[in-house]
């Protein structure tokens, strides 16, 4: 083996041991206390108002999918819904204990809290206790992460699995043993089953091997692990190639402003964006200095890995979207830890403690407003208030007409969990003579939601006219009654 490779591994171990001796405040005994306080903050922010927002269409689909009989569940996952299949399996067991909104979303909140110590661990391994603690703190107050921590989808799960995959990726370098290698293969394969786009994180790891100093031994072992991951994920590749049925046809074409918005999701807007930019520039300056002096060590290479983790999935998604739109910010939420680790590294490198703590304080204070705004907004679709309005005005025998049946999923869920007694309401997706209200004075309730392409569809039903239109967040309800006899 090349003599430079053992030297490189020795420098890695020396760097990690040095980081372990430097805590957030200089006292090693304080680091666990700081970490637990950050985890507690993350838990409070993710558990607060957990059931306050209505279950919207995608979340309702998760519930319906998880409650299917096993035969139907298997058929759906192998024909149309292989993406997020791991989350659906976990949710099946979770829903055995009930399906109120707060309980359904709690699974995502728990996985979101679990990623905080993982991010701290990565920061500690690559840089220092201080950088790890700052990265964990930034993640705990990030509104983008908080939002999807309270959504019954797989986004917080894929962040956890991808973060753990990168942790195992780095640990395999420090301790090239079978334990961390097994953790890497397992977490990476599971991440693919949590969301297809996790494959882009795997691509970033693969590309980073080319930048590693003298990578022969580690790269060979890592390529073997990647082959195992590909074998385990091969059913997903088969699904993508042969089961594409337009699952992403709803995504809009990309624009240049999408790149700017993605950066805001990663860092926050306004003052937070400015501080994040300064911190990344500080970290970049250190990396450039190491590169110029040919000090290509663990920290310098780790910086490249984080850049690839953040930028490569975004670049691939945007380039592909020129031909086929596939970009949606939430699909790339697993890039968030990389952005926050880069920011934390820059903040930790600031020489003057008072400047560092002032910037961190500004980040904390500026996060209060966006977090509060997120809590008070009604969510993607305000089905709770929409159903309450319908319940106050519906009559027995009325018909609910949904041009897109997908909107019927959250409607049915909310009807079953409404605080009000709702008379019998027949739900149809097309208007036929049999679908018209049984009584001559009955009404038709036309309901559209934001997840459909016909949100602004105008009703054209013979002998019926619009009597009232009500708009709720992401929902439009139109009450139609029979035209008066002339």
pLDDT for the residue 21: 42
Domain count, the chain: 2
Q: Which residues, in sequence order, are bridge partners of residue 375? A: none
Tell me phi and psi for residue 27, to 5 degrees. -115, 115
Helix (H, G, I), strand (E, B) or coil at 137: helix
Residue with the larger pLDDT of the pair 7 and 291: 291
Distances (CA, A) of 143 to 54, 147, 154, 372: 18, 6, 17, 10
Q: Does 345 lie in the same domain as 252?
A: yes
Contacts of 149 (CB under 8 A, 6+ apart): 46, 108, 109, 112, 113, 156
Q: What is the pLDDT of residues 329-377, one digit of tens each?
A: 999 999 999 999 999 999 999 989 999 999 999 999 999 999 999 999 9
Q: Which two tokens stand for residue 282?
A: 């500080």
Backbone angles phi, psi at 164, to 5 degrees: -65, -35
* pLDDT at residue 464 is higher than 90: no
Q: What are the tens digits of pLDDT across the range 195-235?
A: 999 999 999 999 998 887 766 667 778 888 999 999 999 99
Q: Which of 159, 156, 138 is nearest to 147 (CA)?
A: 156
Q: Based on the domain organization, do 437 and 310 belong to the same domain?
A: no
Per-residue model confidence (pLDDT) at position 480? 87
Whole-number Å distance between alpha carbons of 345 and 128: 8
Same structural domain, 69 and 186 = yes
Of 11-20, 141-150, 350-359, 432-441, the range with the highest mean pLDDT is 141-150
**CB environment 364-377: b (16+ within 10 A), e (fewer):** eebbeebeeebeee
Last-in-domain residue among 376, 409, 442 = 376
How far is 483 from 481, CA to CA, in rounded Å? 6
122 and 161 belong to one structural domain: yes
pLDDT in tens, 165-175: 999 999 988 77
Q: What is the mean pLDDT of the chain?
A: 87
Question: Residue 441 in contact with residue 467, Cβ under 8 Å?
Answer: no
> 430 phi and psi, to 5 degrees?
-150, 150
**Residues 84 and 204 grouped into a single domain:** yes
pLDDT tens figures, 410-462 = 999 998 888 777 777 788 877 776 667 665 567 889 999 887 655 566 666 77
pLDDT band at residue 23 under the 50/70/90 scheme: very low
Mean pLDDT of 256-276: 91
Contacts of 402 (CB under 8 A, 6+ apart): 408, 411, 427, 428, 429, 446, 447, 448
* pLDDT reading at 32 higher than 90: no
Clarify whether residues 343 and 446 are in a common domain. Answer: no
345 and 397, same domain (yes or no): no
Q: 327 falls in which pLDDT band (50, 70, 90)? A: very high
Residues 362 and 228 in one domain: yes
Kindly state whether residues 343 and 407 are assigned to the same domain.
no
Three-state DSSP state, 481: strand
Average pLDDT in the 16-28 region? Answer: 44
- Of 360, 376, 392, the residue at which a domain comes to its end is 376
Q: If you average pLDDT over residues 121-140, what whole number do you get?
A: 94
**Are 183 and 291 in the same domain?**
yes
DSSP class of 382:
-
- pLDDT, average across residues 123-151: 95
pLDDT value at residue 373? 94
Percent of the chain with pLDDT over 90: 60
Q: Tell which of 328, 360, 376 closes a domain.
A: 376
The pLDDT score that the predictor gives to residue 422 is 73
Distance CA 432, CA 415 (A): 23
- Do residues 462 and 428 both lie within one domain? yes
Note down the domain range covering 466.
Answer: 383-482
* Mean pLDDT within 161-190: 91
pLDDT at residue 173 in the model: 81
Same domain flag for 426 and 332: no
- Cβ neighbours for 113, distance < 8 A, ≥ 6 positions apart: 39, 42, 43, 46, 149
pTM: 0.90
pLDDT at 16: 42
């Amino acid at each position: 083996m090349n003599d430079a490779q053992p030297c490189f591994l020795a420098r890695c171990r020396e760097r990690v041991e040095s980081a372990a001796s430097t805590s957030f405040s200089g006292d090693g005994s304080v680091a666990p206390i700081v970490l637990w306080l950050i985890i507690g903050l993350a838990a409070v922010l993710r558990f607060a108002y957990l059931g306050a927002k209505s279950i919207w269409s995608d979340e309702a689909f998760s519930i319906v999918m998880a409650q299917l009989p096993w035969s139907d569940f298997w058929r759906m996952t192998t024909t149309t819904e292989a993406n997020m299949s791991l989350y659906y399996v976990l949710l099946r067991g979770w829903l055995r204990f009930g399906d109120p909104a707060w309980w359904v979303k709690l699974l995502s909140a728990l996985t979101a809290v679990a990623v905080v110590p993982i991010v701290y661990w990565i920061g500690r391994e690559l840089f220092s206790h201080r950088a790890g603690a700052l990265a964990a703190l930034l993640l705990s107050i990030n509104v983008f992460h908080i939002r999807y921590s309270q959504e019954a989808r797989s986004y917080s799960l894929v962040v956890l699995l991808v973060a753990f995959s990168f942790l195992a990726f780095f640990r395999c370098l420090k301790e090239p043993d079978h334990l961390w290698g097994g953790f890497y293969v397992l977490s990476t394969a599971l991440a693919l089953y949590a969301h297809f786009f996790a494959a882009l994180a795997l691509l970033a790891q693969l590309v980073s091997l080319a930048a590693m100093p003298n990578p022969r031994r580690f790269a060979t072992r890592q390529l073997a692990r990647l082959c195992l991951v590909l074998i385990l994920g091969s059913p997903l590749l088969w699904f993508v190639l042969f089961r594409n049925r337009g699952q992403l046809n709803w995504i809009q074409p990309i624009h240049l402003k999408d790149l700017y918005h993605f950066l805001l999701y990663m860092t926050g807007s306004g003052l937070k964006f400015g501080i994040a930019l300064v911190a990344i520039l500080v970290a970049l300056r250190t990396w450039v200095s190491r590169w110029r002096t040919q000090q290509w060590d663990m920290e310098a290479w780790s910086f490249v890995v984080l850049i690839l983790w953040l930028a490569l999935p975004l670049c691939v998604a945007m380039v592909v979207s020129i031909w086929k739109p596939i970009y949606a910010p939430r699909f790339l939420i697993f890039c968030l830890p990389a952005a926050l680790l880069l920011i934390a590294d820059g903040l930790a490198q600031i020489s003057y403690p008072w400047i560092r703590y002032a910037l961190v304080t500004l980040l904390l204070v500026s996060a209060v407003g966006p977090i509060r705004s997120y809590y008070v907004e009604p969510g993607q679709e305000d089905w709770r208030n929409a159903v309450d309005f319908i319940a106050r005005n519906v009559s027995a025998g009325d018909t609910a007409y949904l041009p897109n049946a997908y909107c019927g999923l959250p409607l049915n869920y909310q009807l079953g969990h409404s605080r009000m007694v709702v008379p019998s309401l027949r739900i149809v997706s097309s208007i036929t003579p049999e679908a018209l209200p049984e009584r001559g004075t009955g009404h038709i309730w036309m309901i559209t939601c934001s997840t459909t392409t016909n949100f602004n569809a105008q009703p054209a039903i013979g002998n019926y006219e619009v009597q009232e239109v009500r708009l709720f967040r992401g929902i439009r309800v139109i009450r139609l009654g029979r035209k008066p006899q002339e």
